[in-house]
Chains A and B, each alone.
Chain A
Amino acid sequence: AQTVTQSQPEMSVQEAETVTLSCTYDTSESNYYLFWYKQPPSRQMILVIRQEAYKQQNATENRFSVNFQKAAKSFSLKISDSQLGDTAMYFCAHWAIQGAQKLVFGQGTRLTINP
């Protein structure tokens, strides 16, 4: 069974700083997707970034980038030039393309950006 672990329950940084959220996962699948979702106080789940396991190049979306280490089963999210609007819960998630057919989430990291 797939598992996803986020070891940082809470993080806090100053506006404009760079912050990295950690995620590790365990899977027996060779082909899968990894995601970071953002959940602001509005409760809406918003897709931040997506990585396909067979792609070696790390995904980037504007100020958001990932460090995908497949052998180490590590998938961290880096937020550059952090903004007040980045304050949210962040969830790491795993999806196996074959087999389980379900999105498995980590416990979440509550990120606060301070002015």
Chain B
Amino acid sequence: NAGVTQTPKFQVLKTGQSMTLQCAQDMNHEYMSWYRQDPGMGLRLIHYSVGAGITDQGEVPNGYNVSRSTTEDFPLRLLSAAPSQTSVYFCASSSSWRNAEAFFGQGTRLTVV
């Protein structure tokens, strides 16, 4: 059972570079989301989607872009990486926004130098 798959697991970027964090789920879940985890701050919501073609901003959306062209995939794009985006990123999915039990990917540790 694959569940939620995130790639890559680790990434180092130079300031100003762009990249895409991939997230795919095989559970036919409607709801997908991206979080970043920073020490002492828990997980904070970046963007979320309640279905294909629908996305919305979370708590910390600046510097990130998302799209949801299929139910399975929800990539997160860093447009121009900054050191403040050094963090651990998690993708999560739920069967619907009414069923909050979230399944998480294994996370991506991103370092921007």
* Residues of A in contact with B (beta carbons under 8 Å apart): 4, 6, 9, 33, 35, 42-45, 47, 50, 91, 93, 95, 97, 101-108
Report B6 CB to chain A, min CB distance, Å: 11
Cβ contact within 8 Å between A105 and B100: no
Chain B residues contacting A47 (CB-CB under 8 Å) are: 101-102
Chain B residues contacting A45 (CB-CB under 8 Å) are: 90, 92, 102, 104, 107
- Please, what's the 1-or-0 string for B76-113, where 1 marks a CB less than 8 Å from any CB in chain A? 00000000000010101000011011101011010000
Cβ contact within 8 Å between B40 and A33: no
User: What would be 28 A-B contacts, judged by CB atoms less than 8 Å apart?
Assistant: A43-B88, A43-B106, A43-B107, A44-B106, A45-B90, A45-B92, A45-B104, A47-B102, A50-B101, A91-B42, A93-B43, A95-B100, A101-B31, A101-B48, A101-B97, A102-B48, A102-B59, A103-B33, A103-B35, A103-B43, A103-B45, A104-B45, A105-B43, A105-B44, A106-B42, A107-B40, A107-B42, A108-B42
Report B49 CB to chain A, min CB distance, Å: 10
Cβ contact within 8 Å between A44 and B104: yes
Chain B residues contacting A44 (CB-CB under 8 Å) are: 104, 106-107
Chain A residues contacting B101 (CB-CB under 8 Å) are: 35, 47, 50
Which of chain B's residues has its CB closest to A94's CB?
Answer: B100
Report B5 CB to chain A, min CB distance, Å: 13
- Please, what's the 1-or-0 string for B39-80, where 1 marks a CB less than 8 Å from any CB in chain A? 011111100101000001011000000000000000000000
Which of chain A's residues has its CB closest to B42's CB?
Answer: A105
Chain A residues contacting B31 (CB-CB under 8 Å) are: 101
Which of chain B's residues has its CB closest to A34's CB?
Answer: B100
Distance, CA A97 to CA B31, complexed state (A): 13
Chain B residues contacting A6 (CB-CB under 8 Å) are: 42
Chain A residues contacting B100 (CB-CB under 8 Å) are: 33, 35, 95, 97, 103
Chain A residues contacting B42 (CB-CB under 8 Å) are: 4, 6, 91, 105-108
Chain B residues contacting A102 (CB-CB under 8 Å) are: 33, 45, 48, 58-59
Chain A residues contacting B107 (CB-CB under 8 Å) are: 43-45
